[in-house]
Homo-oligomer: A and B are copies of this chain.
Amino acid sequence: MSKPLTLHEDRLFPADKTVRSIARRLYAEVRGLPIISPHGHTDPAWFAGNAPFPDATELLLAPDHYLYRMLYSQGVPLARLGVPSRSGPSHADPREAFRTFAASWKLFRGTPSAMWLTHVFVEVFGFDVALSPETADLYFDSINAQLATDVFRPRALFDRFKLEVLATTESPSDDLRHHRAIRESGWAGQVITAYRPDPVVDVEHEGFGEAMERFAALSREDVSTWRGYLRAHRVRRAAFKDAGATSTDHGHPTARTADLSDAEAEALYQVILSGKATPEQAELFRAQMLTEMAKMSLDDGLVMQIHPGSFRNHNAEVHARFGRDKGADIPTRTEYVRALKPLLDRLGNERDLCVILFTLDESAYSRELAPLAGHYPILKLGPAWWFHDSPEGMRRFREQTTETAGFYNTVGFNDDTRAFLSIPARHDVARRVDAGFLARLVAEHRLDEDDARDLMVDLTYNLPRRAYRLDRSRPAGLAHGA
C-alpha cells in the first residue's frame, strides 16, 4: 500500500499559530509573482532547441549531484545511477537506476532535495502517491510519458513556471550559439547569459589551455600579451552583454583580490602563460583578475558575483574516473576582510558598481559579510548558497545578516541550479522561509506587518531585479510578454 503524497499548504511555516497565520498572509502576497532567476546553471540548448527532455533518470537523477552524492555516501556506485564518466555515458539501465534511487529515498528525509523533488512530483508531474520501491516503476513510466508530451518541453515549462527571466552561465570560450538561437527563434522567453571567466582565469583549471585558444579565436585578440588578454575580456563581455548578460560570475577557491601595478600584472601574466605558475602565482592571478573584472564592470555595468570557498573535486578517485562537478566539492573556511581589501581600496566607494558576495562558510555571515555589506556601497550579499540553500540555511542567513546589513543590502533569491524542474520548488521554499522569518519579527513586534508585506515583495521580486540590473537593460526583442 503506497503512502499518499501531498504538499501541505503551510509547509515550512513556523508551527506557532500566531506566527503561522502572519506567515500565511505574507506568503499570499508573493505566491503568484513571477520568478526572477538571475543566477543558475541550466542549459541554454534546452530553450534553443526546445527538444523534449529525456527520461526520468537522465533528467532528474544523473545530473543532480545533490542526489547522487548522498547515495554515493551510503555506498551506491555512481555508475549505477546513470552518472556519466570520463570514458563516456553510463551503461546503467535508466529504470534500474531510478529503482535504486527510489529504494534509497529515505536517505533524503529532512533534506532540501526531498522537499524540492516532492514539489516536482506533485506540482510538475501530478503524483499523489509517495516515491517508494513499490512506486518506482510507476514514477519512471509516468514521468517519461509526460516528458514526451509538448507541454513538458522546455519552453512550455518555462512559461508554466512563470519565469520572468532565467540567467544561464557561460564561459568566455562559449560562442553563445544557443542564446543566439533563442533570440533568433522569436520566442519571448527571457533566457540570458552570464559571464563566467574562470576557465580562462584559473590556470589550475584542467581546460585552461583549450579555453584560452577558443577565447582568443572568439575575441579575435592576441592573448599572448596582458593588454591583449584584457581586451579579449572586454570583447567577450560585450558579446555576453549583447546576449542579455547583466552579470559576471567568479568561482574562486578564495575571496582573495589584488591590485598589482601594470608591470607586475604583465609579468605575472607571462608566468601564467608559461605553464610554470606556482600555486601562489595562480592564486595571485585569480586575485588580480577579480579587480580587473571589477574595473571592467565599472565601465560596462555588469554586476559582479563572487562565489568563493569551494574546494573543487576533493575526491581524487571520483575526479579521475568521473570528472569535475561530481558531488565532491567541499566548502572551506573563507576569509573576506583582508582578502577583499585590495579591490575595496581601489573601487569600494564607487556609486555605480555592484559586487555580490556569496559564502559557503556561514561563520562569515555575522562576522565579516554583513559588516562589509553594511558599509561599502559596492557590496551586496547573495542569498544562502549551495549547501546552505535550505530552510535552516536560509533562516541562518537572515538571522545572522539582517541586524547588521539590513534587508536592502541583500539581493533576493538565486536558485543556482541545473535542475530546471526544481526551480519553482526552490523559489517557493525561499518565499516561505522569508515569510516565516518576517512573520516571527512581526509576532515579536520588531517589524510592522505592513512593512513586512512590503519587504516580502521586495525580497521576492524587486531586490533581485534591481541588484542584477534586470530593470535597466533588456536585450531588444527579449521582453517577456511584450
Instruction: Using CB atoms and an 8 Å cutoff, list the residues of chain A in contact with chain B.
Output: 3, 8, 10-19, 69-70, 72-75, 106-112, 115, 311, 314-318, 327-333, 335, 337-338, 341, 344-345, 348-349, 351, 360-363, 366-368, 370-377, 379, 387-388, 390-393, 399-400, 402-409, 440-441, 443-448, 450-451, 454-455
**CB pair B375 A327 closer than 8 Å:** yes
Chain B contacts for A393, CB-based, 8 A? 366, 403
- Taken together as a complex, chains A and B put the C-alpha atoms of A329 and B367 apart, in Å, by 11
Among B13, B72, B363, B443, which residue has its beta carbon within 8 angstroms of that of A377? B72
With A332-B368, A368-B332 as given contacts, are A315 and B111 in contact (CB-CB < 8 Å)? no
Nearest CB in chain B: distance from A370 CB, A = 7
Chain B contacts for A18, CB-based, 8 A? 15, 17
**CB pair B446 A11 closer than 8 Å:** yes
Nearest CB in chain B: distance from A239 CB, A = 30
**CB pair A447 B109 closer than 8 Å:** yes
Chain B contacts for A337, CB-based, 8 A? 311, 314, 330-332
**CB pair B72 A375 closer than 8 Å:** yes
Nearest CB in chain B: distance from A7 CB, A = 8
**CB pair B108 A406 closer than 8 Å:** yes
Chain B contacts for A13, CB-based, 8 A? 444
**CB pair A403 B367 closer than 8 Å:** no
Among B69, B341, B360, which residue has its beta carbon within 8 angstroms of that of A375? B69
Chain B contacts for A348, CB-based, 8 A? 315, 317
Chain B contacts for A8, CB-based, 8 A? 445
Chain B residue nearest to A388 (CB atoms) is: B366
Nearest CB in chain B: distance from A454 CB, A = 8
Closest 10 CB pairs of A and B: A8-B445, A15-B443, A11-B445, A390-B403, A363-B363, A110-B402, A331-B367, A316-B345, A69-B375, A330-B371
Chain B contacts for A331, CB-based, 8 A? 337, 367-368, 371
**CB pair A403 B391 closer than 8 Å:** yes
Nearest CB in chain B: distance from A257 CB, A = 14
**CB pair B406 A387 closer than 8 Å:** no
Nearest CB in chain B: distance from A305 CB, A = 18
- Taken together as a complex, chains A and B put the C-alpha atoms of A10 and B69 apart, in Å, by 38
**CB pair A451 B106 closer than 8 Å:** yes
Chain B contacts for A372, CB-based, 8 A? 330
Chain B residue nearest to A436 (CB atoms) is: B444
Chain B contacts for A318, CB-based, 8 A? 349
Chain B contacts for A70, CB-based, 8 A? 374, 406
Chain B residue nearest to A451 (CB atoms) is: B109
Chain B contacts for A451, CB-based, 8 A? 106, 109
Selected A-B contacts with CB under 8 Å, 24 pairs:
A10-B444, A11-B444, A12-B445, A12-B446, A13-B444, A15-B440, A16-B16, A17-B18, A70-B406, A73-B374, A74-B377, A107-B406, A107-B408, A108-B406, A109-B407, A314-B375, A330-B337, A330-B371, A332-B367, A362-B363, A366-B388, A371-B387, A390-B404, A392-B403
Chain B contacts for A392, CB-based, 8 A? 399-400, 402-403
Chain B contacts for A344, CB-based, 8 A? 314-315
**CB pair B408 A74 closer than 8 Å:** yes
Chain B residue nearest to A7 (CB atoms) is: B445
Chain B residue nearest to A110 (CB atoms) is: B402
Among B73, B106, B446, which residue has its beta carbon within 8 angstroms of that of A115? B446
Chain B residue nearest to A22 (CB atoms) is: B15
**CB pair B446 A391 closer than 8 Å:** yes
- Taken together as a complex, chains A and B put the C-alpha atoms of A368 and B329 apart, in Å, by 10
Chain B contacts for A329, CB-based, 8 A? 371
Given contact pairs A15-B18, A314-B337, enumerate 18 new A-B contacts (beta carbons under 8 Å): A70-B406, A73-B373, A110-B407, A110-B446, A110-B447, A115-B446, A314-B341, A314-B344, A314-B375, A315-B349, A330-B337, A330-B368, A330-B371, A332-B368, A360-B367, A361-B367, A362-B367, A387-B403
